[in-house]
Structure 1
């Protein structure tokens, strides 16, 4: 069993893909599960998003029960919540989960949205079938959360139906989870810059390349995602130490992503693409 000392601060990736899970021989190196990131900090377990990677994380937690964890959702598009009904620890009494998410533009809470995807005819077991202890927390962008001496700051992200980004700071070290956000044509996003400032690790949605985003026939403008080129601009402006490109497009196989990674690394020396299973120690 892996120990989790109170002095540890690390990030581990369980799902790095956007839109839809992409199993198969072309996604072996980088991974095909949708968004889920584990952060261990100050003896606490924080989980960011509940895509299909959450199911895999859940399997690894079973030998470590009872579990207490804080689960933060960026938003409730399916690729960020579709693993939640398959998160086995949530069905087991004795485990405790604190669940956070922003109130949707239509007023729906994160509890309502997680519950809705588990209602018939979408799923056979309703949310109340999960026998763990769950506490739900409604957020608004700009809220600050304290978990002991861990500070979590939030900011609004530019995404259809809205999303929220998270900045985790503990003992002078910072990791940022900033996915599902689209950059602006005329300026750097001040909310993203706020989250990214002097971050040790900056996880950023770069679903597209500039060539794809600005393609004259198949433009991705308005789709709610960004590019690795924009990520580099943000990191240079904000003083980010390590950039991690995240939320890979389902059409991008390992060869394509390896080429992107080479370009990103050339443009920003301490940069990489997120891979399932990768652990980054701060």
Structure 2
């Protein structure tokens, strides 16, 4: 059976939080490496993207990859200027965003982010072939033998969720989404139906979420209700709050597992094989 793997390079939300209290789960912001056979897909480009880029270069091969952004808030794109493969001409990338149209374009957003007085060099410094691709969430993206279904999420400024299907297996990536407390979104249930793995925004606890209304995030209970309604096999906590240190995350995960055995929490460098 063809390889289908997920590797976490950044699992934290909002802002990087390196230090001894976050060493086990990790302090980098969102970035996930997905391998579908020979195809490389990168989900989000937070600070975890830097180490992924260095690892890819160390392998010595020309890189051809798709980078799927949920949205362009800093914690999800801060790694792009520090992604070393962008500065070498032999590599090729397609950079996707589904939440910007019609008001913005991804290339223009990148130009704004990498310009004075915010940043000392611009995107013209990149030497790799980079194709900036705007789309509207809800469209399906076909990448060879891989099918990527997309959905609009509830987040300030919008965000895009992804479901990747390959060789009879599937992973859904739904982060930066404000879950409804009392019911399920039928479209999200349809997207995640029978998925092997769902990686979901579980930034806050039930004690914290009421004070964060409108911030565009969820709890593990919100995500678990979705996973149960959709018949998801494995549920994964993601986008950990920076104030949740390793001990706090251990307690949150234990509570979640007591409700849904087999639940996991994203940890940097962890690899999942579907």
| Shorter-normalised TM range | over 0.9
Shift of 1:189: 2.1
The answer to whether the Cα contact below 8 Å between 2:99 and 2:158 also exists between their aligned partners in 1 is no
Shift of 1:186: 3.6
1:61 aligned residue: 56
2:140 aligned residue: 144
Shift of 1:272: 0.9
Shift of 1:230: 1.0
Is 2:5 aligned against 1:10? yes
Of residues 132-141 and 14-23 in structure 1, the stretch that sits farther from structure 2 once superposed is 132-141
- For the aligned residue pairs, the C-alpha RMSD in angstroms reads 1.2
The 2-side partners of 1:52 and 1:194 are apart by 31
Is 2:268 aligned against 1:276? yes
Q: Kindly provide the CA deviation profile for residues 222-255 of structure 1, in whole angstroms up to 9, marking residues without a partner as x.
A: 1100000111111110000011100000111001
Residue of 89, 111, 117 corresponding to 1:115: 111
The 1-side partners of 2:201 and 2:99 are apart by 21
Shift of 1:53: 0.2
1:229 aligned residue: 221
1:260 aligned residue: 252
1:159 aligned residue: 155
**Unaligned stretches of 5+ in structure 1?**
1-5
> What are the within-5 Å matches in structure 2 for residues 240-255 of structure 1?
240-255=232-247
> What are the within-5 Å matches in structure 2 for residues 33-182 of structure 1?
33-64=28-59, 65-104=61-100, 107-182=103-178
The 1-side partners of 2:266 and 2:26 are apart by 9
Partner secondary structure for residue 58 of structure 1: helix
The answer to whether the Cα contact below 8 Å between 2:99 and 2:159 also exists between their aligned partners in 1 is no
The answer to whether the Cα contact below 8 Å between 1:157 and 1:191 also exists between their aligned partners in 2 is no
Partner secondary structure for residue 9 of structure 2: strand
Give the TM-score of the pair, scaled to structure 1.
0.94
The 1-side partners of 2:113 and 2:86 are apart by 15
The 2-side partners of 1:106 and 1:121 are apart by 26
Shift of 1:196: 1.4
Shift of 1:33: 0.1
The answer to whether the Cα contact below 8 Å between 2:29 and 2:75 also exists between their aligned partners in 1 is yes
**Unaligned stretches of 5+ in structure 2?**
none
Q: Kindly provide the CA deviation profile for residues 81-121 of structure 1, in whole angstroms up to 9, marking residues without a partner as x.
A: 00100000011110000111024266111221122110111
Partner secondary structure for residue 134 of structure 1: strand
The 2-side partners of 1:161 and 1:257 are apart by 28
Of residues 158-167 and 261-270 in structure 1, the stretch that sits farther from structure 2 once superposed is 261-270
The answer to whether the Cα contact below 8 Å between 2:99 and 2:152 also exists between their aligned partners in 1 is no
Of residues 105-114 and 141-150 in structure 1, the stretch that sits farther from structure 2 once superposed is 105-114
Give the TM-score of the pair, scaled to structure 2.
0.97
